[in-house]
Amino acid sequence: MRQLVVIGNGMVGHRLVEALCERDTGRTWAVTVLGEEPRPAYDRVALSSYFDGATEADLRLADLTGDGRVVLCLGERATAVDRQARTVTTSGGRRIGYDTLVLATGSVPFVPPVPGRDLPGCHVYRTIDDLEGITADARSARCGVVVGGGLLGLEAARALQLLGLRAHVVERAPWLMPRQVDEGGGALLGRLVAETGVVVHTGAVVEAVEAGADGRVARVRLGGGEVVDADLVVFSVGVRPRDELARGCGLELGPRGGVAVDEACRTSDPCIYAVGECASVGGEVYGLVAPGNAMAEVVADRLVGGRAVFAGADTSTRLKLLGVDVASFGDALGGGEGVVDVVVNDAPGRRYARLVVSDDARTLLGGVLVGDVSAYAALRPVVGRELPADPLALVWPVEGAGAGAGVLPEDAQVCSCHAVTKGRVLRAVAEEGARDVAALKSCTRAGTGCGSCVPMLKRLLDEAGVAQSRALCEHFGQSRAELVQIVMATGIATFSELIGRYGTGRGCDVCKPAVASILASLRGGHVLEGEQAALQDTNDHFLANLQRNGTYSVVPRVPGGEITPDKLIVLGEVARDFNLYTKITGGQRIDLLGARVEQLPQIWKRLVDAGFESGHAYGKAVRTVKSCVGSTWCRYGVQDSVGLAVELELRYRGLRAPHKVKAGVSGCARECAEARSKDVGVIATEKGWNLYVGGNGGFAPRHAQLLASDLDRETLVRYIDRFLMFYIRTADRLQRTAAWIEEMEGGLEHVRAVVVEDSLGIAEELEAAVARHVESYTDEWRGVVEDPDKLARFVSFVNAPGTPDPTIRFEVERGQPVPAAPVDLGLPVVGARVER
């Protein structure tokens, strides 16, 4: 077999070997991969998910060593290449011969030559080791500075926030992400990022990083004399190609560094190729994974006798940075002759769009989207092609306008990460039997990279006439909304009867809690009563939120955020007596964390006796109604926002729903309660109240949209009743209100027709359903405290009720108990609790 050596085990090197194994059906190549890191290849694009709880195993790419052709050498760096002898010398002292060599060495972070850049507490953001170092230093830090406001810099800022630090971003350019977005988009991006709590310094440079008495980072000095007190610095200024091996063996280099390659990705030595961030193609070094993957495909094809060429790359990007959606595609910044800009700058709506089109407005050349990037999936594939609609309609669509899947030609590329065209997707549907997104991913690899093309894959399935299943799970062929109608029509009150008459099998962890939620919404009763208790997931089963160390958090209801001093004192006493960690939440209430399961009823009794009740933080239910102080105290307030918030929270408390529901009431247009980020948002006007719906945080933030204006209090409550019950009856399982509105035929206009105009004639029924809930409401914590049978559930070990969980330990951080590292007791662990 011929010998191929690949230097570099990053994403592009991994894709090269994978593509070669797929093509080399004759098994003519034996492959040796040298990886400098001590771990197998992992997904660097998703690196920041490490701070969201992803593990190294979650990030790891597929193992390619299974069929015997690939040998992976980890923790072994290539130190020299001898082109005459065709050997590679490694840090372990080995000399490995090759017939063909591929350089996939990637890049290294650039750290500007500022004084103090090597102090303890300074980091780069490139590898898992880097992230572990940042995490370790963050434990003793309060504030961090990220130098660089590009893609990776903003990801680093979010990471610092997730680690509990106050984050600053310093960017030399006048706006953030200057390589991807223009000035207008950068201005909105900066405002949205600042709203997340990150302090943004644009048009600023770092002059020095200074140490404190302990020799570690203590402050960052900016140009103009500004000083930021900081304990940690992350440099994310850019990268440089790793071309030292090429330099050392005399290969030709690009004008700005990198290994010069031709259209076949071959270097000046015909036996050596280069791919990814270390390669310079026509003087251009690409810093994205999609061009690197395209180069990998070219080289794999060449190694088996093909004639593939690298004809440039799609550098489009779609990202969510600090919760803000950003996308750019094609010639995003424009500026040349013969082009026209189409710009929508909707500051109140928190969205910005710019399309760069030809001067005859017929060809799309590129664009920038900030805030709302829903048009990206349809716009990116038509770059360089004739526009499918009026340019303005593409970024400010009206009903029936815009760019959909149907207008794309079959050779349009819908997945830039793996160069998958619309035609290839449709062939997978017609010829390979793909009937859902998962099957398309398996057949074509589309959607397995950055994931931004997944919405387009769904549209293409629709275009191909493939009906997407709405079945709740394998045990019920009906959707959640259909099961709601069945329960309403038949009066069924138990899961066993419902699955016996309309389903199959015994149920699963999908349908059981979903049906439990339906029954709770329509039938009421305690969630731990009889058969209901066995249907609940962990949080609902224990009426508290399970934490990572096996303890639970207790969140009492504080309607509208209003609380008396006496009740505040009770919360403090309970937290002190049970040694609980206390945290004020974003929903204006206090979270008591660290309670063992057997302590929950004792804590609840103390709280119930003091007049508190469950805040339903554990349930898919209406949770909080946030408020500002309104006209009672604020000199700008025009209505009593606190009084309304308390009324609404007490009205809808415990109302079970397909997903969690949050609300907010602001006493004036200054919006201090951030009502437009809530599922139900109410903003006071001089004439009454404006009602907004469909705002969500989480993975896909959405701002609520105006449903009705200048409502009196009675009408407002009626509309909210209708909206919530309509959502509860028709949404899919775990579907937030924003997605529910977006996927509904007719969207917001249909919701308005049903809720405001009563187009379906069901308004009275929806209001009556809420009224029944209000009349039948009882506190779930009190229901446990007063029922010995329910109390018996709250033990760590059924066979040893008085025994506390030995794996639960605490450390002290900032004066409060926090989870300690787990101790290996030699016991089998199930979930977060130990079984004996």
**CB within 8 A of 336, min separation 6: which ones?**
none
Alpha-carbon distance 365 to 341, whole Å?
Answer: 10
Query: Could you tell me if 387 and 338 are in contact, meaning their C-beta atoms sit under 8 angstroms apart?
Result: no
How far, in whole angstroms, is CA 420 from its chain's centroid? 24
Residue 450 assigned as binding residue: no
249 within 8 A of 80, measured Cβ to Cβ: yes
C-alpha–C-alpha distance, residues 378 and 364, integer Å: 12
13's CB contacts (< 8 A; 6+ apart) are 6, 7, 33, 41, 102, 104, 275, 276, 296
Whose structure tokens read 């009492």?
A: 556
User: In this structure, is the dihedral angle defined by the CA atoms of residues 487, 490, 491 and 495, taken in order, positive or negative?
Assistant: negative
Listed in sequence order, the DSSP H helices in 386-510 are: 391-395, 422-432, 437-444, 454-463, 480-490, 495-502
Q: Is 335 exposed, middle or buried (0-12, 13-18, 19+ CB in 10 A)?
A: exposed
Question: What end-to-end distance do the CA atoms of the chain give, in Å?
Answer: 54
Helices 565-577 and 600-609, interaxial angle, to 10°?
160
Is 21 annotated in some ligand binding site? Answer: no
- CA 606, 608, 610, 614 torsion-angle sign: positive
**708 DSSP β-pair partners:** 691
- Quick one: three-class SS letters along 736-760? CHHHHHHHCCCHHHHHHHHHCCCCC
- Contact present, 518 and 503 (Cβ < 8 Å): no
CA distance 596 to 297: 54
Is 453 annotated as belonging to a binding site?
Answer: no
CA 491, 497, 498, 502 torsion-angle sign = negative
In b/e form, how buried is each residue of 572-599, taking b as 16+ CB within 10 angstroms?
Answer: eebbeebebbbeebebbbbbbbbbbbbb
Q: Return the structure tokens found at 197.
A: 């709590």
48 within 8 A of 158, measured Cβ to Cβ: yes
Nearest by Cα to 669 from 684, 679, 682: 684
CB 685 within 8 A of CB 638: yes
Candidates 257, 236, 245, 129; CA nearest to 179 is 236
d(CA 718, CA 388) in angstroms, rounded, equals: 42
Residue 501 is encoded by which pair of tokens? Answer: 């008459």
SS (H, E, C) 216-239: CEEEEEEHHHCEEECCEEEECCCE
Given a contact cutoff of 8 angstroms between Cβ atoms, the answer to whether 380 and 329 are in contact is: yes
- Angstrom distance (rounded) from CA 115 to CA 411: 52
Residues in the annotated binding site for [4Fe-4S] cluster = 628, 634, 668, 672
Residues in the annotated binding site for siroheme = 672
Residues in the annotated binding site = 628, 634, 668, 672
